A and B are shown apart, each in its own frame.
Chain A
Amino acid sequence: MTFKKGSVAAHIVMGLLAIYFLLPFWWLLVAATKNNDGLFQSASLWFSDFQLIDNLKLLFQQDGGVYVTWLRNSAFYAVVSGVGATVISALAGYAFAKLRFPGRNALFALLLGLIMVPATALVLPTYLLMSQANMVDTIWAVILPSLLNPFGVYLLRVYVHDSIPDEMLEAARIDGAGEFRVFRSVALPAMKPALVTVLLFSMVASWNNFFLPLVMLSDDQLYPLTVGLRAWYMSAIMGNGGAATFNVIVTGALVAIVPLIVAFLMLQRYWRGGLTIGSVK
Chain B
Amino acid sequence: MTEVQNSPAVAPAAAGPSVKTGRRSHLREAATGWLFVLPFAVLLVAFLLLPMAYAFKISLYRSTLIEGEVFALFDNYKQAIDDPLVREGVVRVLIFGLIQTPVMIGIALLAALLIDAATSRFSRFFRLAAFVPYAVPVVIGTLMWGFLYSDSIGPFSALGIDFVSSDTVLASLGNIVTWQWAGYNMIVLYAALQGLPRETYESARIDGATEVQIALRIKTPMIASALVLATLFTIMGTLQFFTEPLILQPLNPGAITQHYTPNVYAYQQAFSFQQYNYSAAISFLLGAVVFIGSYIFLFATRKRSALR
Contact = CB atoms under 8 A, between A and B. Distances in A.
Direct chain A–B contact by Cβ atoms under 8 Å: yes
Interface of A: 2-3, 6-7, 10-11, 13-15, 17-18, 20-25, 27-28, 31, 39-40, 44-45, 88-89, 91-92, 94-105, 107-112, 114, 116-122, 124-126, 128-129, 144-145, 147-148, 150, 153, 161, 166-167, 170, 173-174, 179-180, 183, 204, 207-208, 210-211, 215, 225-227, 229-230, 233-234, 237-238, 246, 249-250, 253, 256-257, 260-261, 263-265, 268, 271-272, 275-276, 278-281
Given A117-B48, A122-B51, A145-B47, A107 B37 contact: yes
B147 interface: yes
Contacts of A98: 8
Contact of B51 (A39, A96, A125): A125
Secondary structure call for the B interface: helix
Nearest to A182: B32
A101 B29 contact: yes
Nearest to A18: B129
A281 B306 contact: yes
Contacts of B182: 21
Contacts, number: 304
A17 B306 contact: no
A210 B39 contact: no
Contacts of A6: 210-212
Given A20-B179, A24-B179, A40-B153, 13 more contacts: A14-B118, A22-B129, A101-B29, A114-B44, A120-B240, A121-B55, A122-B51, A122-B55, A122-B287, A125-B54, A125-B58, A150-B44, A279-B189
Interface stretch (B68-76, B78-86, B94-102, B130-138): B130-138
B30 to A, nearest CB: 4
Interface residues of B, number: 111
B113 to A, nearest CB: 9
Interface in B124-176: 125-126, 128-141, 143-145, 147-148, 152-155, 157
A256 B140 contact: yes
B123 interface: yes
Of B52, B130, B132, chain A has the most CB atoms within 10 Å of the CB of B132
B187 A271 contact: yes
A14 B183 CA distance: 12
Interface string B28-62: 11111110110111011011111110110010000
B58 to A, nearest CB: 7
B33 A99 contact: yes
B243 A210 contact: yes
A260 B135 contact: yes
B40 A110 contact: no
Interface in B254-289: 263, 266, 270-271, 276, 279-280, 283-284, 286-287
B179 A21 contact: yes
Contacts of B31: 101
Contacts of B291: 116-118
Contact of B10 (A27, A100, A112): A100
A31 B153 contact: yes
Of B40, B126, B179, chain A has the most CB atoms within 10 Å of the CB of B40
Interface string B103-117: 000010011001101
B249 to A, nearest CB: 9
A163 B221 CA distance: 28
B131 A264 contact: yes
Given A6-B211, A124-B276, A148-B44, A105 B290 contact: no
Contact of B132 (A25, A92, A183): A25
Contacts of A211: 242-243
A147 B140 contact: no
